[in-house]
Structure 1
Amino acid sequence: MVQFNDWCDSADTPVGNHHVRVMRGRVADAATGVQLSAAAVPVHYAAEERIAHALARLGKAGAAQLITGLLPQTPQIRSGDLGEIYATEWINAHSGYQAPIKRLRWKDHRNMAMRGDDVIGMILDPASQRLRFLKTEAKSRIDLRAQTLTEARAGLDKDEGRPSAHALSFIAARLLGLADLPLVDAIDDALVRHGIPLDSVQHLLFTFSGNAPQALLTKSLQAYPGPISQWGVGLHVDGHAAFIGAVYDRVIADAN
């Protein structure tokens, strides 16, 4: 886990019926942020069992080659991937939802961005066996601007604000391989039997940026006219590009 509280200060602000949280990386704890992030990154690209199997068969050098071969090489794709990784980690640690798969394990190519809904968090009600969804758009920018949040809003509003059927089918197929049949069945029921009521959906707009996101997130949530509850979460790290480079450099160094 990234353990944001170990290297960030957080501030929460209500925005009408919605909510904004800003996490600001502490300059004095930047090295801790790099270390914790680098420790979390590899399993977003390959399952722990995959890495352990390669280590047992190929030794440390072979496993290191496997890991580094999965990492994106371009700064832009690294930025986008890390934004999605942070969103996934935040959901699992702080939202009450769980993101049941790590999507980056199924990228078409390491230097390509994933398509579709960025991250979908879920809660399975044990009594009804029905799901609640957290539809998420994650954006990573050196200089976050309103246009980026407009793009994220467009993504959240697709499919009438619901998670797309394609994204849910993708998750269900991956979960079937992990033998998580109760969650597979619940996803299939949402798609086929009873649909997805809007009151079972929440939105998360997650940003990772080198500038302060508070005002932009607040304005974006204030402008939202729909019925779906909104969260805006912004991770603000000074020296955004250098920080991302340091994280991936540390992943490679640790692998070797």
Structure 2
Amino acid sequence: MARIKSWVTTTREDVGPHKVVRMVPPDEAAVNAGVTWAAAAVPRHYVSADEIAAMLRELGKPEAAEVLSGKLPVSKRTRSGELGEILGTQYVARELGYRMIARLRWKDSRDMPMRGDDLLGVRLVDDDKLEFLKGEAKSRASLSTSTLDEAETALLSDHGLPTPHALMFVAARLREVGETELHVKILAAQLRARIRPSDVLHLLFTFSGNNPLKLLRNHTNAYTGKIRRLGVGLQVPEHQAFIRRVFEKVICDARAR
């Protein structure tokens, strides 16, 4: 699958030791490409590729499409928040190279929020050392300072380190897919208190209709902690229409498989 940068124009700047990134589609053709890109990513965050293949094989297209549709959120607010999380997850995995889990597959109900860190990534460095990404994803038609403050509270929980619940969740999912070495290393790092602030990157990922650059710049500049910060803002002026089009295309594509 292509990376987000295939349909956006990117601006980067340093804010002290931290970084801020703004991404925006340059024209309508790029917005259309973004809808197609996001619609291709969304199903795999709710249903695994193996499960989709099994449903198609055993049930056929109409029934498989119905199962997928039943897992997608229906409220505008939940769709907005979960698409923001999906976009953030894709960014962390494809642009930053962290191992990510599509955690929305384990929701209790399609319109119920999940607990824990929105984004938790891990990668192995030098065959032994683990690096973690702790992130919050916020989706708003009009991004505001109060929304960033809300994300800040979550990022600073547990002294800014990944929450134990999120770590155990990710470790368990990795074990289930056979990544036992990474599973054991995460558990060891958590249980033996080996995760230090220097091992963590904070990500504040926003998806909004308005320009997030100044807000992210000011918010990052005000941060006085020691954990590295990355602020990333994806701006799609047609924010609400973009979300609606993405989920409509997901359902349409499922029925056309």
TM-score range, shorter chain: over 0.9
Three-state SS of the structure 2 residue aligned to 1:221 is helix
Amino acid at match of 1:235: L
Unaligned runs of 5+ in 2: none
Amino acid at match of 1:57: E
Three-state SS of the structure 2 residue aligned to 1:205 is strand
Structure 1 stretch displaced more, 188-197 or 42-51: 188-197
Amino acid at match of 1:110: R
Give the TM-score of the pair, scaled to structure 1: 0.97
Q: Does 1:67 align with 2:68?
A: yes
Is the 1:25–1:238 Cα contact (8 Å) retained in structure 2?
Answer: no
Structure 1 stretch displaced more, 118-127 or 129-138: 118-127
Q: Does 1:145 align with 2:144?
A: yes
Structure 1 stretch displaced more, 141-150 or 30-39: 30-39
List aligned pairs for 1:75-114, cutoff 5 A. 75-99=76-100, 101-114=101-114
Q: Does 1:156 align with 2:155?
A: yes
> How many angstroms does 1:194 deviate by?
4.1
Three-state SS of the structure 1 residue aligned to 2:59 is helix
Unaligned runs of 5+ in 1: none
Aligned to 2:9: 9
Q: Please provide the CA RMSD for this pair.
A: 1.1
Three-state SS of the structure 2 residue aligned to 1:86 is helix
> How many angstroms does 1:139 deviate by?
0.3
4+ residue segments displaced more than 2 Å = none
Give the TM-score of the pair, scaled to structure 2: 0.96
Is the 1:34–1:243 Cα contact (8 Å) retained in structure 2?
Answer: yes
Is the 2:36–2:246 Cα contact (8 Å) retained in structure 1?
Answer: yes
Question: Could you tell me the percent identity over the aligned residues?
Answer: 45
Is the 2:3–2:95 Cα contact (8 Å) retained in structure 1?
Answer: no
Distance 2:135 2:145 in 1: 17
> How many angstroms does 1:70 deviate by?
0.6
Amino acid at match of 1:147: S
> How many angstroms does 1:25 deviate by?
1.9
Aligned to 2:121: 121
Aligned to 1:215: 214
